[in-house]
Chains A and B, each alone.
Chain A
Amino acid sequence: MKNLVVNPVLNKEFKLRFRSFKSYLGVLFYLLALGLIIVGFIFIESLSNNMQGFFKPEQSRTMFMVLSILQLGLILFITPGLTAGVISSERERQTLNIMLTTTQSSSSIILSKLISSISYLILLIAASLPLYSFVFLFGGISPGQLLTTMGFYLFTIVVYGSIGVLFSTLIRKTIVSMVTTYGVTLFLAGGTAFLALIFMQLTNTYGYTGTQPTNPLAYFLAMLNPVIILMSTFEPEITNEITRSTGIEFPLWISYLISYTLIFIGSVLLSIKKLRPNMQKG
């Protein structure tokens, strides 16, 4: 553990990251984008309700949902960009070989690369927390809900980050690694929801024979989708609908935690194994 805390790669990555002006610009634009959307949301909502110029406290909850889902979208968009090049860019910059001839273990290199790249995302999220004070200003949301959402972000970032690091280790070129990671992210965050909806729709269409028919496939797709999971923490009706359609009552978010933990462990272990050549005599 001590090795990880005072890890040279982590130390170096922090130095490189926070010495670059781009990192601060990134935080600025991230907050600007989120801030504009919140202000825009309040503006539109206060225009469209009956009492023009007022923002109802009940709408604060909707705003929280919009903000949270938007933030999730931004996280899913940024994570591959930050992680899918961590190893391949070192390879392209011709610094990886030198690093691999040091006595640092592969696991230390992979984990510190992962931690350093996602720590920037955590900074983005932490910096966005004051924006959530808009929500608290109007009420309608519990601090517990906010903490759950933040925990959910952290977990999702770590898992998607590990997928990025895996492709960055396996694929030589950063650009190909990026495209692959974005492809997988798009499938997990969008494709699974789309397919789950199709399967649920198909089940319901053929379901007018008296009893509710079930098809478990949609459950396994939905449990991989971070957007559905996040929304289900706001709207329990989503979980109920999935349970009705698939016949599986096991909580969806636990399945998400289990499946994503497995993806994380698999990605990290494979990255560690593939970082250096397999020297064992065959």
Chain B
Amino acid sequence: MIEILDLTKRYGKFTALDSLNLTIEKGSVFGFVGQNGAGKSTTFSILATLLAPTSGSAYVNGYDVQKEPKLVRKQIGYMPDFFGVYDQLKADEYLHFYGASYGIPFAEREKLIPQLLDLVNLSHKRESYVDLLSRGMKQRLCLARCLIHDPEVLILDEPASGLDPRARVEMREILKELKSMGKTILISSHILPELAEMCDTIGIIDQGKLVAQGSVGDIQSQLRGERLILVKVNGNAENAISFFEDDPNIFKLSLLEGGLSFQFIYKGTTEEQTELLKRAMLSNLAITSFAEAETDLEDVFMEITKGVELT
């Protein structure tokens, strides 16, 4: 379990983290969303005992990151957003090095390493020099490295950045497996929409502040006041457009490419929406489809952070 209390980090006048409060339950997967420079990496660095906070506290499995950093290090597997590898080491030597750094005896490492390489689908690369691996393979090897001391908490800063779609899918599958192993996972990623299904909770951070926290569904429902609706027509769209334009709950109506569909933001209640659809049907507008467009997590994130900037 991770507990963050009033965590603040300042660099001179710049506030990277502003009284962040967060609780992540044991065994859950927490997705951290935010723009570059929002404070995600700063939070992760503090949890990984790499950075001292200006004020506030953070606990990993009950251990204070400031008072008991050594005990915290045993609990966590940390994967930074950017990391390098040693160019003259082979994949298994790389894992041996970090295993030994955690004090794992050689014989035990010999048993562990093939299992870890198998978990991240790199068994065939055991004898390859790390530097020659592709980026996706390096990321997976780094993930295997995080797991070598069997930590309860994984802190993964942008584990899928710079990966091609196939490598992203592979990474996602591995993370799912780790989740099923009961690990507490903190993850920040650009591909959070893809990971949404495996995140129990997400937190949206902007300018060092947590602006929203909850399940993916909770956060999406925060925006339920506004829905993006896509309408498709069979034939001339002008009649349909002039019908919808008159509704006071409709904003930002725009005709889409091809002229056979248009979208708008609807701010009315669900009952009003039902009424609107009924009237449209009765008006012989040749509508073939009237549907709420799916708002994905990225849209939610853009919407929320936009709101923060305005205030």
Contacts and interface: CB of A to CB of B under 8 A. Distances in A.
A93 B85 CA distance: 7
B279 interface: no
Given A95-B83, A103-B73, A279-B66, A15 B93 contact: yes
Interface residues of A, number: 26
B84 A94 contact: yes
A278 B54 CA distance: 11
A5 interface: no
Contact of A277 (B52, B98, B103, B149): B52
A8 B80 contact: no
Contacts of B301: none
Interface in B76-101: 76, 78, 80, 82-86, 88-89, 93, 96-98, 100-101
B276 interface: no
A277 B142 CA distance: 23
Given A9-B101, A20-B88, A102-B101, 16 more contacts: A8-B101, A12-B93, A12-B97, A15-B89, A94-B82, A97-B80, A98-B83, A98-B142, A100-B50, A102-B73, A102-B98, A103-B70, A276-B50, A277-B51, A279-B69, A280-B66
A145 interface: no
B40 interface: no
A103 B83 contact: no
Nearest to A105: B70
- Interface of chain B, helix or strand or loop or mixed? loop
Closest CB pairs A-B (n = 8): A8-B100, A102-B101, A94-B84, A93-B84, A279-B66, A101-B78, A277-B52, A19-B88
Contact of A101 (B48, B52, B84): B48
B97 A11 contact: yes
A101 B70 CA distance: 9
A279 B49 CA distance: 8
Interface string B30-64: 00000000000000010011111000000000000
Contacts of B66: 279-281
A101 B50 contact: yes
16 contacts: A8-B97, A8-B101, A9-B101, A12-B97, A16-B89, A93-B86, A94-B83, A95-B83, A100-B50, A101-B48, A101-B49, A101-B50, A101-B73, A278-B52, A279-B67, A280-B67
Contacts of B89: 12, 15-16
Contacts of B145: 98
A97 B81 CA distance: 11
Interface string A1-29: 00000101101100110011000000000
Task: Specify the main secondary structure of chain A where it touches its partner.
Answer: loop
Nearest to B98: A102
B243 interface: no
B101 A99 contact: yes
B74 interface: yes
Given A97-B83, A103-B73, A277-B51, A15 B98 contact: no
A16 B145 CA distance: 19
A160 B279 CA distance: 87
A98 B78 CA distance: 7
B64 to A, nearest CB: 9
Contacts of B69: 276, 279
B102 A103 contact: yes
B156 interface: no
Contacts of B149: 103
A37 B37 CA distance: 57
A277 B86 CA distance: 24
B71 to A, nearest CB: 9
A208 B145 CA distance: 74
A49 interface: no
B74 A103 contact: yes
A269 B73 CA distance: 22
A94 B102 contact: no
A279 B52 contact: yes
B65 interface: yes
A104 interface: yes
B85 A103 contact: no
A280 B93 CA distance: 34
A12 B95 CA distance: 11
B76 A101 contact: yes
Contact of A276 (B49, B76, B96): B49
B100 A11 contact: yes
Nearest to A102: B101
Interface in A229-282: 276-281
A43 B174 CA distance: 70
Nearest to A278: B52
